[in-house]
Structure 1
Amino acid sequence: MKVLLLTLCLATALVAEELYEEVGDDFNASEVLENPRLLSSYVKCLLFQGPCTAEVKRIRDALPEVLETHCAKCTKRQKQLGQQLTQGVKKNHPTMWDELVAHYDPNGKYQDAFKDLLEGN
Structure 2
Amino acid sequence: MEGGFIIKMNSITIIVLALCMCATVAQDTKKYDNASNVNIEAILSNDRIVTNYIKCLLETGSCTKEGRDLRRLLPDAIQTDCSRCTADQKRNSRKVITFLRTRRPQDWKKLTDKYDPQGLFKKRSSLA
- The answer to whether TM tops 0.5 is yes
Of residues 81, 84, 87 in structure 2, which corresponds to 1:70? 81
Whichever residue aligns with residue 52 of structure 1, its letter is C
1:92 aligns with 2:103: yes
**Number of aligned residues:** 98
Identical residues among aligned pairs (%): 31
Judged with a 3 Å threshold, the aligned counterparts in structure 2 of structure 1 residues 105 and 33 are, in CA distance, closer, same or farther, namely: same
Matches within 5 A, 1:51-70: 51-70=62-81
**Residues 75 and 115 of structure 2 are in contact (CA less than 8 Å); yes or no, is this contact kept in structure 1?**
yes
Task: Report deviation, 1:94.
Answer: 0.2
User: Pairwise CA RMSD of aligned residues?
Assistant: 2.4
Judged with a 3 Å threshold, the aligned counterparts in structure 2 of structure 1 residues 20 and 107 are, in CA distance, closer, same or farther, namely: same
Q: Larger RCO: Structure 1 or Structure 2 (Cα < 8 Å, ≥ 6 residues apart)?
A: 2
Of residues 76, 90, 94 in structure 2, which corresponds to 1:83? 94
Whole-angstrom CA distance in 1 between matches of 2:78 and 2:30: 16
Q: Which has the higher helix share?
A: 1
Gaps of 5+ in 1: 1-16, 116-121
State the structure with more CA Rg: 1
Task: Report deviation, 1:24.
Answer: 7.0
Whichever residue aligns with residue 105 of structure 2, its letter is P
Q: Structure 1 stretches (4+) deviating beyond 3 angstroms?
A: 112-115
